[in-house]
Structure 1
Amino acid sequence: MATIAPSRRVRRTPFSDGVEAAGVKGYTVYNRMLLPTVFRSIVEDYHHLKSAVQVWDVACERQVELRGPDAARLMQMLTPRDLRGMLPGQCFYLPIVDETGGMLNDPVGLMLADDRWWISIADSDLLLWVKGLAYGYRLDVLVDEPDISPLAVQGPQAETLMARVFGDAVRAIRFFRFGWFDFNGVSMAIARSGYSKQGGYEIYVDGTQNGMPLWHALMEAGRDLDVHAGCPNLIERIEGGLLSYGNDMTRENTPHECGLGKFCSTQTAIGCVGRDALLRVAKEGPTQQIRAIAIDGDIPPCDRAWPLMAKGKRIGQVTSAAKSPDFGTNVAIGMVRMTHWDAGTAFEVHTPDGVRAATVQDKFWL
């Protein structure tokens, strides 16, 4: 394949030197930054993630910072999830919607203080939407992208590795909570979170200059734990039902279609710009929804949507798919019409390599 041409429009990260030294074999572009996609092979990286510990360069998860007296009001305008009970030190998974209820992003929101928040975003220009709302409503809030770059530590040995670098207190962080820890005299937020089902942490590295020192410290401390550079793994994320914004959902989908209705408190999330639209969706229910799908036979890489067909009619599409070594089938994520979304329903997937039989599963694999 052609390489990605370097430019100021595709930014390197504070950890790119370490990623390259570790032998990265593939990149994608995410929020106009480099995101590694494979090191040894997707299958080798998959098995290692499930058995040891990996350090991931996820600096592409840029932060949108809201700071000022109206920060909390602006946060609530962005999401149908009720944030009134959120306290400093908590992380919330947030559907971010527009005025029609369409998904704009699905970030993790961190409440640093009543008047200061970070939105750790998926791949979309959320900063511009947030700045537009702040300006249009004349809110007393500063919206900016700080020099904060997440570094993830994921896998069964993640807690052991993190304790060696940051001390045993890091073990006490609860799921979707964060605390402040010192590294080389710099205080950094560390959250018990990450884009895998294997458990781990995300370190919000403060300052580009601190990137490689922390990378080296983690690699050195984890030598006997078989630490490797890694990245979000396609197979493992599909097994776990972790959605990819821009692949499995777009602005054309509502949170309810994406299976995120449990994160929508539309009755009480007063102020959300998409609230009225989502009240109608919640009342009527979605006509299509994300489902786990098993696909038979050999499949090619899924780099486009594959139609789902039943009796000659299109009833949905597969948006992510891969062969699972642990589950002995092709695991997939798809958007399926309500007429065919029940577990056990069979239909056809039209892949570039031909038609394959597929079946809706009752849940995701992990």
Structure 2
Amino acid sequence: MTQQIGIGPNTRKSVYFDATIAAGVASFSVYNHMLIPAHFGDPQAEYDSLMTGVAMWDVAAQRQVEISGPDARALIQYLTTRDLSKTRIGQGRYVPICDHAGTLINDPVLLMLEENRYWLSIADSDIGLWASAIAAERGLDVRVHEPDVSPLAIQGPKAETLVAELFGDWVKGLKYFGFKQTDLQGIPLILSRSGWSKQGGFELYLQDGSRGSELWAIVKAAGAAYGIRPGAPNDLERIESGLVSYGADGRIQTNPCNPFEISLGKLVDLDRPDDFVGKAALQKIKAEGIKRRRVGYVIAGAAIESFQHSLPVQTSDGQIVGLLSEAVYSPRFVGNIGVGMIASEIDEGATDLSVMLDQAPRKVTIQPLPFE
């Protein structure tokens, strides 16, 4: 019997939804209360396109939280762990956001659009509600809302050539996380050199949701000469590359972690003279030393065909010392690899670690990230 998951009114469709259906999307996930393609029926071919060619992804579920008004900069500074006082218009920044206990609750990309106007391009949690509450409690004069913005990603080693053909050679001068307001055949968008892969690429922040299918068709047609394929943020490539995934690697409801544990400690500026949410807690955490660290894992045995839930990592005497948060089989490394947490006192040479997978123990060893 074929199993199905119902789509209700509380799960929004992307502006590219019809285009992805026509392109043969085979599976969806839910991200920020929105459907996001998971794959188009051939995950290995989608991976190959990302690694050697070019792929296009509907990432409209990567929602934007717009913060504008006289106190916008003050709110952004207080929300994030990084000192953003020197950020300029047209620059993006990767900015961890913590709660007052120092627990990571999102890791968005910040885009400074104007002097008092910013977007937070968020991972999967309701940061708009958080930002609104913090602003109200501090009496800040800002507007916090979700604009009509839907990113479309173009990723892979041929992405720059394709995007330059679409927009012009000026795109080659964009620095990583740099962006510019522009248009494509009259469609308004912001073009950013960014994306959730280590293979390079761009994100097109569409600013008119009524033109989603039109934008998809333009990119698809131009990309045909480069073998472009539709796909989705790729779990295999992200694990191989060691990219952080808020939600998969750590989520406040299931695996609460702080930026130091999840390898984002370099983005925590405790020397800032001003205060920010979680600063006191993070100072204490750093002074006391972190209890866990994020690592790569190699998992012995047959190829992992599916991995749905995080698994405890334990020693030979049954002591739980870590967590395997996600794992896949990697043809590139000819084995099962994953990411997760391990207790700080466990060194990389540990030989007595295992996880229970498919009701049987699997030996695991620790590897540094990214996998090489």
TM bucket (normalised to shorter chain) is over 0.9
Instruction: Give the 5 Å matches for 1:345-364.
Output: 345-346=350-351, 347-364=353-370
Amino acid at match of 1:242: L
Shift of 1:323: 0.4
Instruction: Give the 5 Å matches for 1:292-307.
Output: 292-298=296-302, 299-307=304-312
CA distance in 2 between counterparts of 1:77 and 1:112 reads 18
In structure 2, the residue matched to 1:258 is 262
TM-score by length of structure 1 reads 0.96
CA distance in 1 between counterparts of 2:70 and 2:370 reads 41
CA distance in 2 between counterparts of 1:175 and 1:7 reads 37
Is contact 1:123–1:246 with CA below 8 Å preserved after alignment?
A: yes
Runs of 5+ unmatched residues, structure 2: none
Q: Kindly indicate whether residue 128 of structure 2 is the aligned counterpart of residue 122 of structure 1.
A: no
Is contact 1:300–1:353 with CA below 8 Å preserved after alignment?
A: no
Aligned-partner SS, 2:342? strand
Instruction: Give the 5 Å matches for 1:1-366.
Output: 2-251=3-252, 252-268=256-272, 270-298=274-302, 299-310=304-315, 311-340=317-346, 342-346=347-351, 347-365=353-371
CA distance in 1 between counterparts of 2:274 and 2:357 reads 43
**Runs of 4+ with >4 A deviation:** none
Aligned-partner SS, 1:8? coil
Could you report, residue by residue, the CA deviation over 1:218-256 in whole angstroms, capped at 9, with x for unpaired residues? Answer: 111111110111111111111111122222112221111
Distance 1:185 1:269, change over 3 A: farther
Larger displacement relative to structure 2 (246-255 or 258-267) = 246-255
Aligned-partner SS, 2:130? helix
Distance 1:210 1:269, change over 3 A: farther
CA distance in 1 between counterparts of 2:222 and 2:44 reads 25
Shift of 1:272: 0.8
Aligned-partner SS, 2:345? helix
Distance 1:239 1:269, change over 3 A: farther
Amino acid at match of 1:283: A
Is contact 1:102–1:250 with CA below 8 Å preserved after alignment?
A: no
Shift of 1:269: 6.2
Is contact 2:148–2:208 with CA below 8 Å preserved after alignment?
A: yes
TM-score by length of structure 2 reads 0.95
Report how many aligned residue pairs link the two structures.
365
Could you report, residue by residue, the CA deviation over 1:10-44 in whole angstroms, capped at 9, with x for unpaired residues? Answer: 11111111111111111100011111111132222
Identity %: 40
Larger displacement relative to structure 2 (242-251 or 224-233) = 242-251
